[in-house]
């Protein structure tokens, strides 16, 4: 199959490329020159081609929680959002602490998935934070990183061993940084709003205490620490200091942490409940600065589907998490690029080139000769309202329902094949 | 007169004008209490349901008497015998009550925001009778009225709330009501029981009760939950009593004529000494009596909105 995308603005941060031209695809790979006439021509006029977006933090809920999401619905939702590669967190049922579960997810992805799926494995057995999981076996089965995500390793010695042991596999350790004692029973950011609402707060320090501990352990071990979903100004500062010291730490944030404050929790809508919680304007400002300064390397969704039945209850009883695949790109465009925080190329880098580099994904995150032809086509003038009835994810738990966007993905190409089109 | 709203979820959402409407509406209802027939036909043919997810004697009884004195039909749903124990969720429970044509649902819940969730899913008027650590608006209003009745004004009064501010919905509703009406509100308690950002609500914070009582015109003592000790919020009841009990000796440091309030139920000998609770400064029984009149006023003031929904 030979495809030609004509007259398109090509932005490839991996080679600092921004020009109008054609992209040639030959058997799923990008080639500099076509070997013959194309089987398919895509008109790219007034559109932008970028490397397929890579989401390093998502929950696909398979196996075990197919009521919330399946590989089929999850990858369709991601494709709609312009995402061509997704890393899925291991807090499934059973958890991903064994090779058969990794293989099951990969098999499912092959059978019903629309995009590339890379499982993240548990750092410890059962994500219990007591014994290391068989990380070498998991690596062989296909994991891209290790994490106990929502059940962060509380024992510093175990975290040290995790960072140490993973070095030989060059696997990043993703830390959901949360001191579970400080955040105990908390459901939103601690501050004036939690006081007014009478909801138990989670102080920012619950995150920052663990970010600092893990940075110190990364310094001790030389292991690769990746801080998940940075939500506070303090965490940005800590990561900045660590990077200045040359410690091997990378970080991601999510669109909601640079878009929303805890003011929107005010009507007790559980679609505003996630962990870490929405913070304050000064945190948003610091996160934006951190993105601009390159302190925060990646933008990820933390796509966390939950059913209406689970969410439409008392705020305390609802599970944490919101979906994010279908809104990430538009939020990045509107909140970061349009507001002058990042250039379009730098913004795209945080969803393509940087994740590929940090997690060692070969052949992806770039539009070079021989790159796998994962391409997202953006229409910068695509106006739309994010409506509940248009959500493709099996779950509809988004605080962005009703929001109007300008710009988004209009076509998603995985290995040269168009998998989704607006 | 009307509050021009369907629900009473919290005092946060009311303004000074609304609060004045409530204050002005209570008296006629209270005057019924001294008559031989203590009943008005205001809510005849209306159905009021109390839905209590937490034990309560005082508040539920107060609402029940208020509704009965307005000639409403009142049904009490006790949660341990209802279908909630079979796993029914809050919204479905509310919809079931609405299908039975409940006009008012008075909800007490151990979780903050439960009344808000109910209110936006139902056409019935929802009255918050206390939700988690959020608000207890009718208590706030009855405290406001009790002060107003005694002092004939609110503006400029100095009111001190003592104790567990962090877990107190009564404190929250008092703070909103009093600050909106121009009172100066301060709180006193151990730092572990003072919630984050409370100063932003216009409240002064004291840790030392001896210091705090000096200027107060009214001291409102909050109930201390003994289980807070297990959460390490204070080390022992003995120490709490030592530091925060309102005693005769502490009262002597306050202005003469200072008025004492307590939302009940009291832990005599813990947050308040018996002699203070029984002293002539105490308004505790008046609070209870006023509670009924204030709740009648609220049922009345929320009612006009219901007329538009097309009954009668």
Whose tokens are 């998935």? That residue is A113
Residue A221: phi and psi, rounded to 5, are -100, -25
What sections of chain B are H helices per DSSP?
16-32, 58-69, 90-99, 114-121, 137-151, 169-180, 209-213, 237-244, 248-253, 274-277, 284-308
Plot region of B87 (φ>0 → left; ψ -120 to 50 → alpha; else → beta): left
B202 and A CB contact within 8 Å: no
Token representation of residue A186:
């908390």
Catalytic residue among A302, A338, A346, A374: A302
| Terminal C-alpha separation, chain B | 19
B120 and A CB contact within 8 Å: yes
Q: Identify the segments of chain A with pLDDT beneath 70.
A: none
Mean pLDDT of B209-232: 92
Cβ pair A195:B198 closer than 8 A: yes
Cβ pair B91:A312 closer than 8 A: yes
> Which pLDDT belongs to residue B312?
36
Cβ pair A314:B198 closer than 8 A: no
Q: B231 to chain A: which residues are within 8 Å by CB?
A: none
What residue of A is the nearest CA neighbor of B170?
A: A198
Helical (H) or strand (E) element with A237: helix A233-244
Tens of pLDDT, residue by residue over A126-171, are 999 999 999 999 999 999 999 999 999 999 999 999 999 999 999 9
Compute how many other C-beta atoms are within 10 angstroms of the C-beta atom of residue B114.
28
Please list the residues that pair with B127 across neighbouring strands: B8, B106
Cβ pair B200:A313 closer than 8 A: no
Query: Shortest CB distance from B111 goes to which of A193, A267, A317?
Result: A317
Query: Shortest CB distance from B12 goes to which of A196, A203, A309?
Result: A196
B197 and A CB contact within 8 Å: yes
The 3-state DSSP class for residue B111 equals coil
> Which pLDDT belongs to residue B230?
80
Cβ pair B12:A192 closer than 8 A: no
A308 in active site: no
Q: B12 to chain A: which residues are within 8 Å by CB?
A: 196
**Superfamily of domain A52-362 in the CATH hierarchy:** Metal-dependent hydrolases (3.20.20.140)
Cβ pair A314:B134 closer than 8 A: no
Q: B84 to chain A: which residues are within 8 Å by CB?
A: none
Between CA B142 and CA B290 the distance in angstroms is 6
Query: Shortest CB distance from A199 goes to which of B112, B135, B198?
Result: B112
Cβ pair A192:B91 closer than 8 A: no
What sections of A255-361 are H helices per DSSP?
281-292, 308-311, 328-331, 344-349, 353-358
Question: How many Å separate Cα A409 from the centre of its chain?
Answer: 16
Cβ atoms B283, B276 nearer than 8 A:
no
Residues 245-304 of B with CB under 8 A from A: none
Please list the residues that pair with A214 across neighbouring strands: none
Tens of pLDDT, residue by residue over B17-66, are 999 999 999 999 999 999 999 999 999 999 999 999 988 889 999 999 99
Q: B197 to chain A: which residues are within 8 Å by CB?
A: 191-195
Domain ranges of chain A: 52-362
Mutate to test the interface with A, among B117, B205, B230 (most CBs of A within 10 A): B117
Cβ pair A199:B132 closer than 8 A: yes
pLDDT score of B78 more than 80: no
Q: B120 to chain A: which residues are within 8 Å by CB?
A: 267
Compute how many other C-beta atoms are within 10 angstroms of the C-beta atom of residue B247.
14
Query: Shortest CB distance from A314 goes to which of B90, B120, B196?
Result: B90
SS3 content of chain B, % helix, strand, coil (to 5): 45, 15, 35
What residue of A is the nearest CA neighbor of B112?
A: A198
Cβ atoms A323, A304 nearer than 8 A:
yes
Query: Shortest CB distance from B117 goes to which of A190, A201, A314?
Result: A314
> Which pLDDT belongs to residue B228?
80
What residue of B is the nearest CA neighbor of A198?
A: B134
Tens of pLDDT, residue by residue over B228-270, are 878 889 999 999 999 999 999 999 999 999 999 999 999 999 9
The 3-state DSSP class for residue A255 equals helix
Mutate to test the interface with A, among B13, B14, B107, B112 (most CBs of A within 10 A): B112
Cβ pair B113:A195 closer than 8 A: no
Between CA B265 and CA A229 the distance in angstroms is 45
> Which pLDDT belongs to residue B311?
40
- CA of A123, closest CA in chain B: separation in Å? 31
Compute how many other C-beta atoms are within 10 angstroms of the C-beta atom of residue A18.
15
Taken in order of first residue, the domains within chain B and their CATH numbers are 11-135+288-308 (3.40.50.1370), 137-287 (3.40.50.1370)
> Which pLDDT belongs to residue A181?
97
Sorting pLDDT into bands at 50, 70 and 90, what band is B310?
very low
pLDDT score of B140 more than 90: yes
B112 and A CB contact within 8 Å: yes
Q: A206 to chain B: which residues are within 8 Å by CB?
A: none
- CA of B40, closest CA in chain A: separation in Å? 36
């Amino acid at each position: 199959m030979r495809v030609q995308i004509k007259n398109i603005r090509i932005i490839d941060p991996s080679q600092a490329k921004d020009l109008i031209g054609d992209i040639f695809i030959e058997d799923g790979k990008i080639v500099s020159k076509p070997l013959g006439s194309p089987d398919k021509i895509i008109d790219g006029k007034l559109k932008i081609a970028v490397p397929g977006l890579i989401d390093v933090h998502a929950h696909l809920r398979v196996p075990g929680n197919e009521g919330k999401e399946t590989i089929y619905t999850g990858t369709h939702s991601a494709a709609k959002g312009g995402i061509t590669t997704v890393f899925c967190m291991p807090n499934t049922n059973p958890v991903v602490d064994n090779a058969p579960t990794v293989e099951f997810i990969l098999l499912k992805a092959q059978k019903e998935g629309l995009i590339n799926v890379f499982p993240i494995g548990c750092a410890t057995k059962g994500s219990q934070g007591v014994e290391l999981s068989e990380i070498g076996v998991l690596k062989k089965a296909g994991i891209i990183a290790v994490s106990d995500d929502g059940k962060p390793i509380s024992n510093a010695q175990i975290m040290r061993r995790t960072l140490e042991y993973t070095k030989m596999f060059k696997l990043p350790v993703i830390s959901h940084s949360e001191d579970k004692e400080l955040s105990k029973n908390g459901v939103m950011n601690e501050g004036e709003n939690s006081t007014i609402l009478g909801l138990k707060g989670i102080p920012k320090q619950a995150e920052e205490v663990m970010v600092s501990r893990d940075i110190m352990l990364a310094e001790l071990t030389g292991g690769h620490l990746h801080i998940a979903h940075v939500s506070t100004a303090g965490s940005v500062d800590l990561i900045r200091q660590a990077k200045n010291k040359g410690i091997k730490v990378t970080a991601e944030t999510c669109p909601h942490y640079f878009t929303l404050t805890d003011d929107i929790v005010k009507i007790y809508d559980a679609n505003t409940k996630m962990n870490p919680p929405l913070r304050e304007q000064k945190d948003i400002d610091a996160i934006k600065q951190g993105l601009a300064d390159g302190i925060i390397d990646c933008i990820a969704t933390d796509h966390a589907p939950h059913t209406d039945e689970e969410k439409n209850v008392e705020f305390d009883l609802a599970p944490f998490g919101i979906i994010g695949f279908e809104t990430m790109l538009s939020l990045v465009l509107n909140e970061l690029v349009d507001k002058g925080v990042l250039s379009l190329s730098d913004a795209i880098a945080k969803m393509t080139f940087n994740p590929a580099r940090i997690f060692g994904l070969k052949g992806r995150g770039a539009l070079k000769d021989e790159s796998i032809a994962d391409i997202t086509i953006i229409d910068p003038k695509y106006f739309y309202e994010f409506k509940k009835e248009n959500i493709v994810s099996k779950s509809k738990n988004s605080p962005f329902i009703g929001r109007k966007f300008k710009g988004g993905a209009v076509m998603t190409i995985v290995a040269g094949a168009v998998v989704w089109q607006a | 007169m009307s509050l021009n709203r369907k629900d009473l979820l919290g005092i946060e959402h009311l303004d000074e004008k609304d609060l004045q409407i409530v204050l002005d509406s209570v008296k006629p209802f209270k005057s019924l209490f001294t008559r031989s027939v203590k009943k008005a036909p205001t809510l005849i043919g209306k159905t009021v349901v109390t839905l209590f997810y937490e034990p309560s004697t005082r508040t539920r009884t107060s609402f029940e008497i208020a509704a009965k004195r307005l000639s409403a039909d009142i049904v009490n749903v006790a949660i341990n015998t209802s279908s909630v124990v079979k796993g029914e969720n809050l919204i479905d429970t509310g919809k079931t009550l609405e299908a039975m044509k409940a006009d008012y649902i008075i909800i007490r819940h151990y979780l903050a925001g439960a009344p808000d969730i109910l209110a936006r899913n139902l056409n019935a008027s929802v009255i918050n009778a206390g939700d988690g650590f959020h608000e207890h608006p009718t208590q706030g209003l009855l405290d406001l009225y009790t002060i107003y009745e005694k002092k004939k004004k609110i503006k400029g009064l100095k009111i001190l709330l003592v104790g567990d501010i962090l877990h107190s919905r009564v404190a929250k509703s008092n703070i909103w009501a009093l600050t909106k009406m121009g009172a100066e509100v301060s709180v006193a308690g151990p730092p572990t029981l003072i919630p984050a950002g409370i100063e932003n609500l216009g409240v002064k914070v004291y840790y030392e009760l001896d210091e705090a009582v000096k200027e107060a015109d009214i001291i409102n003592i909050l109930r201390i939950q003994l289980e807070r000790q297990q959460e390490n919020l204070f080390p022992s009841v003995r120490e709490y009593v030592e530091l925060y009990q309102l005693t005769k000796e502490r009262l002597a440091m306050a202005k003469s004529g200072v008025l004492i309030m307590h939302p009940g139920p009291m832990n005599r000998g813990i947050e308040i000494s018996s002699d203070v609770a029984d002293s002539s400064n105490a308004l505790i029984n008046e609070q209870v009596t006023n509670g009924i009149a204030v709740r009648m006023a609220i049922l009345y003031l929320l009612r006009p909105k219901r007329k538009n929904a097309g009954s009668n």
